[in-house]
Amino acid sequence: MKINSAEFVISNSDVAKCPKDKLPEYAFIGRSNVGKSSLINMLVGRKSLAKTSGRPGKTQLINHFIINKSWFLVDLPGYGYARVSKSAKKVFQKFITSYFAKRTQLVSAFVLVDCRHEPQKIDLEFMQWLGENQIPFSIIFTKADKLPKTKLPIQIEEYIKKMLEFWEEMPNYFITSSSSGLGKDDVLNYIGEINDQLKNS
Ligand code: GTP
Ligand code: MG
């Protein structure tokens, strides 16, 4: 899929105030610093449409971006960020879960995990929660450029093995790098295909 336009629409902490348009929407979620905002920029070919930072906790609101004037990409705050206060964490968790529970426009979530790390409890639990709430998702392994080429498949295999302890099948997954652009076409074509199906249904 070709990206012709990508524009910021609105940021807020209240799912009720998200855009009312009935356009298909795809949300990026995962631990702080995993690369959600960077991946959005990489996908749409814009350096700083979504704000990124080397320090975790950069994205603090629900951010809507409209793509090709016909669908939304949503950048969310990370979960599991240790340095925000407990009360702030609760507020975050609450609006993130309420976003997923209430946003009927959401077609699919992308759960981002850093390909260098072992499967993390918080990600596994979040995917479990998505499953229980029947929210479709794919996994995106990020920062592939940071692993030696030989190590990458081993890490992915380990992750799949862990997932199969909880899931009958490995969910759909992508391997990406926001620095090299790896996975860009795969993710965009996947979204494009779903958008086409929705248009024809
Ligand atoms: P929060 O908004 O804090 O939840 O973080 P985020 O998940 O949006 O992460 P963000 O995109 O801000 O990236 C965090 C850091 O990781 C930044 O320093 C990015 O430059 C770096 N980063 C993100 N993706 C990649 C990648 O694919 N490769 C490399 N090498 N660095 C990356
Ligand atoms: Mg971010």
Mean pLDDT of the chain: 94
> Which ligand is the nearest neighbour of the Cα of 41?
1
Averaged pLDDT, 14-27: 95
Atom of ligand 1 nearest to the CA of 78: 4
Residue 3: what are its φ and ψ, rounded to 5°?
A: -95, 115
More confident residue, 2 or 94: 2
Residue 79: C-alpha distances to residues 21, 32, 39, 60, 195 (Å): 27, 6, 17, 10, 28
| pLDDT in the model for residue 91 | 66
Give yes or no for residue 82 having a pLDDT over 70. Answer: no
Atom of ligand 1 nearest to the CA of 142: 27
Q: Dihedral, CA atoms, 43, 47, 49, 55, nearest 10 degrees?
A: 100
| pLDDT in the model for residue 164 | 98
Averaged pLDDT, 12-38: 95
| Widest pairwise Cα distance in the chain | 46
Which pLDDT band holds residue 88 (cuts at 50, 70, 90)?
Answer: low
Report whether residue 53 contacts ligand 1, using a CB cutoff of 6 Å.
yes
> Are 17 and 10 within 8 A, CB to CB?
yes
Residue 60 bridge partners (DSSP):
none
Give yes or no for residue 182 having a pLDDT over 70. Answer: yes
Atom of ligand 1 nearest to the CA of 52: 12
> Which ligand is the nearest neighbour of the Cα of 36?
1
Report whether residue 52 contacts ligand 1, using a CB cutoff of 6 Å.
yes
